[in-house]
Amino acid sequence: MAAVFFSKKALTAPPTVRTLASGVPSAPLVNFAVRSPAGHGHHEHGAVGPRSDAPARWAGGVSSSPVSGLSSKTFVSAPTTGVYQQRLLSTSAVCKDAPQVPDFSDYQAKSPSTNRGLAYFMIGSLGVLTASAAKSTVTEFLATMSASADVLALAKVEVELASIPEGKNVIIKWRGKPVFIRHRTQEEINEAKSTDWKTLRDPESDESRTKKPEWLVMLGVCTHLGCVPIGEAGDYGGWFCPCHGSHYDISGRIRKGPAPLNLEVPAYDFTEGDAKLIVG
Amino acid sequence: MLSRLPASSLKGLRSLAEARPSAARSAAQTASRVRFSSSSASSSAVKSFLDSRATLASATLLTVGSIAWYTHLYGSLPFLGEVHANSPAEEGLHPPHYPWSHGGLLDSFDHSSIRRGYQVYREVCAACHSLDRIAWRNLVGVSHSVDEVKAMAEEVEYEDGPNDQGEMFQRPGKLSDYMPPPYPNEEAARASNQGALPPDLSLIVKARHGGPDYIFALLTGYRDAPAGFEIRDGMNYNPYFPGNAISMARVLFDGLVEYEDGTPATTSQMAKDVVTFLNWAAEPEHDERKKAGLKAVILFSALTAISLYVKRYKWAPIKSRKIIYNPPADKGHH
Amino acid sequence: MGVFNTFYNTIAKRNSIFVPTIFATAFAFSISFDVGVTSFWDRWNQGKQWKDIRHKYVQDSE
């Protein structure tokens, strides 16, 4: 017991080791948990606690028993003790200067430049997928702001053109606003075309306002303050706004009165061999 | 109990009992020998117990096992509430699971079945059941072409207005109109059906426990009431209906409709088609949803895998580094 | 010189090439991924979708 009592002097002498009858070395009464001395001159304030580099008990270690003598077991590949540390009671091999144990070469990149290329490739791929997903997210989100299908279904109005005789106006409702459709006669077309439109307040040619000269399609909202003009009235044979006296001609252009612009032409199209007009 | 055991086992017990004190003694000896300077042995034992993989594995196993046991006992996951439209007691006979053409994770609707199902709905179900949430335009590109749907819609008169004289007027249907209801209001529906209200079918597949399986089983499940089961006048026996007495009589009989594509119109064929149609009506987004789900699963798995690689890549130098402290050389006394 | 080395030397070496390449690839990827998933979807659900039965009911005038 005296040999292993940890006195102020660090233990430097090897303990008595004897050999059992079986040939196994035995070192009874050796404290394997003894900590390393902090070195010469550090007696008073040495580190407390177990050695920091000693493997934990679950990792194996050296044990002694009267039956089997000294035995050393290792359950994990523990790191080797650094060379700068003194090893006092060692029955294992001496620590080498530059040990390659454990051998990490399997885990090391075969070629650093290839490894770098791979890393950049993976990070680039991450960027590609993220950018693609982000783009889809944004576009899908923006799509939720557009009109829904039931609103879009109401946004178009079909008109049977055969039911409108020549020289007649028809007013239909489209998105809550009146739309004027006029089946113009040949004289009206001639009159609209012969007008010197460049001198008008809102210069627009009749050709740019109609897709087919016999059909004039306009929003029936006065551009002045939003009244609904009266058809076949006014000084120019077109429309007349009763609110403030704006006169529109047979092409819906402003000719007289306070309104600043011509009557607006909505988007429309002819389908089924000109039998139908679709507004919207 | 002990008396019935053979002597040998008792002997074994005794030897075990003998072995134990000696083992304990030797353990105590080694402990007394080993523990000279260490005061942290017991706490490190607790720590190694907490750190060990066996502890982790057994704790996980215990958790999973108790959840599985609970689920087995009570039929639902613990701490997760469930809402059922019906309580199990009044649920009626549970419908069998049918192999729907759209049942799989990647299966779209069978659109020719939707088309046939619409025909069944129009010719049979629409006499009593409304389909309020489906507009004519919804059929376009799903089961019918634009011209077909326009023609079908124009056969129905809708009230519109007011016109210039401030009066409502009738006009032929347009694509934007919704399916016409068979009754103007709920009271009229009840009055024509002996007090029972035929439910709207727009979301019926989602609204019934069992979904398409239940509707199919209900439509094909009419039979004579078993002996002893009292059926009131005007009610019909159906084992799948909660309460087993349903106001709706059996409507589907073999050859009731004539399919334009020549499919034999058996009762089960019509039931399958109309349930597929109603399932589409309840989930019109179904096909797009499954397609988007497929895309999302592929994309997010790839993103997860690459993220794991990048995490390892970034952490490898941090985890494998070694910090060495070399104490300064002691210049004091020797 | 492996594939990844070539990748590094041609694309990743300069950030001014790397980042635009990522965005260009993302654009191409989102289109090709969409096309790929759609073609798989159409093959998986062959004969069930409206586009598969449309020809029975619509005679294209054009």
Q: What is the 3-state secondary structure (H, E, C) of chain C?
A: CCHHHHHHHHHHCCHHHHHHHHHHHHHHHHHHHHHHHHHHHHHHCCCCCHHHHHHHHCCCCC
- Is A73 an interface residue toward B (CB < 8 Å)? no
Residues sharing a CB contact under 8 Å with residue C30, sequence separation 6 or more, in sequence order: A132, A135, A136
pLDDT over 60 at B287, yes or no: yes
CATH number for domain B93-134+178-282, candidates 1.10.760.10, 1.20.200.10, 3.20.20.210, 1.10.10.10: 1.10.760.10
Cis ω before B6 (30° cut-off from 0): no
The token pair at B93 is 């006979």
Place of tokens 């050999």: A19
pLDDT at A46: 46
Residues paired with residue A179 on neighbouring β-strands, in sequence order: A172, A219
Task: Please give the residue range of the domain that contains residue A270.
Answer: 157-279
**Over pLDDT 90: what percentage of chain C?**
71
What ipTM score was computed for the predicted complex, to two decimals?
Answer: 0.89
Q: How many CB atoms lie within 10 A of CB A9?
A: 8
How far from A185 is each of A122, A169, A192, B238, B297, CA to CA, in Å? 72, 11, 11, 70, 63
Please say whether the beta carbons of A218 and A265 come within 8 A. Answer: yes
- Please compute the mean of the pLDDT values over residues A141-163 and round it to a whole number: 81
If you write DSSP's letter for every residue of B309-323 in order, what string do you get? HHHHHHHHHHHS---
pLDDT of residue A95: 55
User: Which two tokens mark C53?
Assistant: 């039965």
CA distance A89 to A17: 11
Q: Is B66 exposed, middle or buried (0-12, 13-18, 19+ CB in 10 A)?
A: exposed
Contact state of B38 with A33 under an 8 Å Cβ cutoff:
yes
Give strand pairing partners of A158: A278
Residue A280, pLDDT score: 74
Task: Please state, in angstroms and rounded to a whole number, the distance separating the CA atoms of residues B107 and A262.
Answer: 55
Confidence of residue B332 (pLDDT cuts 50, 70, 90): low
pLDDT of residue B322 exceeding 90, the answer is: no
E runs forming strands in chain A: 18-19, 25-26, 60-65, 69-74, 157-160, 169-174, 177-183, 215-219, 230-231, 237-241, 246-249, 254-256, 268-271, 276-279
pLDDT tens digits for B191-201?
Answer: 999 889 999 99
CATH number, domain of A196, equals: 2.102.10.10
- C-chain CB neighbours of A121 within 8 Å are 4, 7-8, 12
Residue A248 Cα to chain centre, angstroms: 53
**pTM summary value:** 0.65
- Average pLDDT value for residue range A66-71: 75
- pLDDT computed for residue B16 by the predictor: 43
Q: What is the pLDDT of residue C1?
A: 60
Residue C24's closest chain A neighbor by CA? A128
Per the CB < 8 Å rule, is A49 touching B40? Answer: yes
- Helix, strand and coil content of chain B, in percent to the nearest 5, comes to 50, 5, 45
Q: Does the distance separating the beta carbons of C5 and A114 come in below 8 Å?
A: yes
Cβ-defined contact of C22 to A120 (cutoff 8 Å): no
Per-residue pLDDT of B137-196, as tens digits, reads 999 999 999 889 989 999 999 988 777 778 888 888 888 889 999 999 999 999 999 889
Mean pLDDT of all residues in B114-125:
94
CB A234 within 8 A of CB A242: no
- pLDDT at res. B11: 45
Instruction: Tell me the per-residue pLDDT of A225-263, one tens digit each, with 9 for 90 and over.
Output: 888 888 777 777 788 888 888 888 888 888 888 888 888
> Does residue A98 lie within any of the structural domains?
no
Q: Which amino acid is it at B330?
A: D
Choose, out of C1, C5, C21, C37, the residue to mutate when testing the contact with A (most A CBs < 10 Å): C5
Partner-chain residue, chosen from A33, A149, A153, that has the shortest CB–CB distance to B37: A33
Question: Is A95:A80 a contact under the CB 8 Å cutoff?
Answer: yes
Residue-wise pLDDT tens digits, A94-117: 555 565 666 667 777 778 888 889
Fill in the amino acid letter for A95.
C
Q: What is the pLDDT of residue B86?
A: 58
Q: What are phi and psi of A181, to 5 degrees?
A: -120, 120
* Percent of the residues in chain A that have a pLDDT greater than 90, as a whole number: 9
Angle between helices A112-143 and B286-319 (to 10 degrees): 150
pLDDT per position as a tens digit, B215-270: 999 999 998 888 888 888 888 988 888 888 899 999 999 999 999 999 999 999 99
What residues are paired with A216 via a beta bridge?
A182
Residues from B contacting A (CB-CB < 8 Å) are 26, 30, 33-38, 40-41, 44, 48, 52, 135, 137, 164, 174-176, 299, 302-303, 306-307, 309-310, 313, 324, 326, 330, 332-334
**How do A276-279 and A157-160 pair as beta strands?**
antiparallel
Residue ranges covered by each domain of chain C: 2-50
Count of domains observed in chain A: 1
Q: Which amino acid, residue A184?
A: R
Cis amide prior to A112 (ω within 30 degrees): no
Residue with the larger pLDDT of the pair B43 and B49? B49
**A110 falls within a domain:** no
Residue A163 lies in a domain: yes
Percent of chain B residues topping a pLDDT of 70: 84
Q: Is A244 a catalytic residue?
A: yes
